[in-house]
Chain A
Amino acid sequence: MTILPHRPARIAAAGALALAITALIALVLWSIFSAATDQASGAGRVDIPHLLRMTSIQAGLTTVLSLAVGMALARALNRLRFPGRDLVVGLFASAIVTPGMVVAFGLLSIWGRSGWINQASNALFGVSIGNPAFGLSGILFAHVILDGAFAARIMLARLDAIPQPRLKTGQSLALSARQRFSIIDWPALRGTLPGLGAIIFLLAFTSFPIVLLLGGGPANQTLEVAIYAAVRRDFDLRAAVLLALTQIGVCSLVILIASALAPIPTSLGPSTAPSWRDGMAARLLQAAVLILCTIAFVLPLASVLIDGVLGGFGRLLSQPAFWWAALSSPVIGTSSALLTLVLALTLAMGRGATSNSPVRTILGMPAFAYLAVPAVVLSLGFFLLVRNLGVAPALAAPYVVILGNSLLALPFAMATLGPPFEAIARTRGKLIRSLDLSGWRQFRPSNIPSWAKISASCWRWPSVSRWAIWASLLSSARRISRPCP
């Protein structure tokens, strides 16, 4: 039987926090529903079946393409060894935090009407290729760049984790590249595909900045962008509520299905050099895939940097608004990260202190706040709530942004911080009780090395709300598991 440290204060603090977050979300939703009820008409212009169909088609195509690209890229990275490989792997891993808006802007710089490709085509052949960066093609391209790189990083970890004896057996049987894939690689990869596919589908389904920039009009809107348009352009709260409910329904369904699927192992350790090399033709193909994918990923980012430098920072630096944004962004980011850390630590320590299943479920529920309410709806609800309270929106805005960011990042922080705390409580609970350590004394020596290391990422999460979806999905299936150091 597991003996946990006796920590009623931790459970009470986590319980109070979970209650406060639930009450806040309920208040936000109530503000929207009451405002929508007060509106006499609306929702007439919103074609929900069309939006649902287009969003599903876009997300489905993104999922299939990202998995295919990710698999090819992971195989190439697993097989090939070259100088700077670690840098390339790190580059693809950075897709996790690359803002979608930056990638979309980079694509416009290259494939846009006055982009590099069009300029070169006009100069060389006098022909324009149009504007492929806009519309469904642009959205898919941007999503595949980010999600394909993410999928490749996960799949590479799976390929790197294939046991050496299995590889040696395959090598001694002189398997061809195709046989190696079907007998050795595919069994290692296929377990990750359903869960990974569900995550990518959710990311694409709820995509906001990429679709906003590259959508090219209502034809390619996602539900999230449609909610934004309904609120921002028409202030049609009824439509926003209907769209939000549709999005919540679909996302919940995908999450429920994904929760029943096999978990995604997260062994992201360094890979060892392969002793079994494929034939020359296979290696050439892998090199071609790697070069193409690297160009596709790096070019938009390089174009952003080059355009930024060539465009000149002078005009921008002379604007007071820029300096205000440059100051407020790190302040808001750091404050959000600190708040995320405090909330996640409180909830994770509370969960780690109890083995009662219903209590653990209740303490884990705030992590799903983002799933219950899409980001746009959350912001709208906060705006209405602040307005109803008679507070000037400009005055409340920084606090609301910090709180909203923290709620969005909370699932990821919980999923990362929770398992180490639970492992500490489980493995050292008896020792802690026998030594009669206080809560703080338990926290300091045994917990600080573990959480200080992993909490670094908190500073990145608040600006990467898309990861909240991923993380909440992961946490729902207990997919992140880190050993207690």
Chain B
Amino acid sequence: MMFRALGAYRGNDAAAIAAILLIGTIIAFVGLPKLFERIANAAR
């Protein structure tokens, strides 16, 4: 979708998509390992 937005010269849309993608990546990078560590600790 970001490529399409850039290809259609919709810079604002591409910027918003990039921001959402970045936020999602950070949440996944920080949050998911913590969640799974909690699951692993609970399983012990």
Contact = CB atoms under 8 A, between A and B. Distances in A.
Contacts of B35: 456
Contact of A456 (B14, B26, B33): B33
Contact of A102 (B11, B13, B18): B18
A96 B8 CA distance: 29
Contacts of A313: 16, 20
A97 interface: yes
Select the residue from A102, A305, A316, A329 with max chain B CB neighbours within 10 A: A316
A311 to B, nearest CB: 4
Interface stretch (A197-205, A445-453, A467-475): A445-453
B18 A457 contact: no
A307 B19 contact: yes
Interface in A93-141: 94, 96-99, 101-102, 105-106, 109
B28 A97 contact: yes
Interface in A285-321: 301, 304-305, 307-313, 315-316, 319, 321
B22 A102 contact: yes
Contact of B44 (A309, A315, A449): A449
Interface in A71-109: 90, 94, 96-99, 101-102, 105-106, 109
Contact of A94 (B19, B29, B32, B39): B29
Contact of A312 (B12, B17, B37): B12
A313 B24 CA distance: 15
A443 interface: no
A173 interface: no
Nearest to A303: B15
A319 B29 CA distance: 28
Q: Which secondary structure dominates chain B's binding surface?
A: helix
Given A97-B28, A101-B2, A325-B1, A455 B36 contact: yes
Contacts of B22: 98-99, 102, 301, 304-305, 308
A308 B19 contact: yes
A97 B29 CA distance: 7
Nearest to B23: A305
A453 B40 contact: yes
A450 B16 CA distance: 38
A430 B34 CA distance: 33
A307 B30 CA distance: 23
Contacts of B43: 448-449, 452
Given A456-B35, A457-B33, A97 B25 contact: yes
A322 interface: yes
B6 to A, nearest CB: 7
A106 B11 CA distance: 12
A94 B15 contact: no
Given A304-B19, A448-B43, A453-B40, A316 B25 contact: no
Interface residues of A, number: 42
A384 interface: no
A460 B34 CA distance: 13
Contacts of B11: 311
A167 interface: no
A450 B44 CA distance: 10
A213 interface: yes
Nearest to B33: A456
B38 to A, nearest CB: 10
B9 to A, nearest CB: 12
A33 interface: no
B13 A315 contact: yes
A453 B37 contact: yes
Nearest to A308: B19
Contacts of A105: 2, 6, 14-15, 18
A328 B30 CA distance: 22
A316 B16 CA distance: 7
Interface in A304-350: 304-305, 307-313, 315-316, 319, 321-322, 325-326, 329
A235 interface: no
A310 B19 CA distance: 11
A368 B14 CA distance: 34
Contacts of B15: 105, 109, 304, 307-308, 310-311
Nearest to A307: B15
Smallest CB-CB A-B distances: 5 pairs: A308-B19, A456-B36, A311-B12, A307-B15, A453-B40
Given A308-B17, A308-B22, A326-B20, 5 more contacts: A301-B22, A311-B11, A311-B13, A449-B40, A456-B36
Interface of A: 90, 94, 96-99, 101-102, 105-106, 109, 212-213, 301, 304-305, 307-313, 315-316, 319, 321-322, 325-326, 329, 448-450, 452-453, 455-457, 459-460, 463
9 contacts: A106-B18, A213-B6, A304-B18, A319-B13, A449-B43, A452-B43, A456-B32, A456-B37, A463-B25
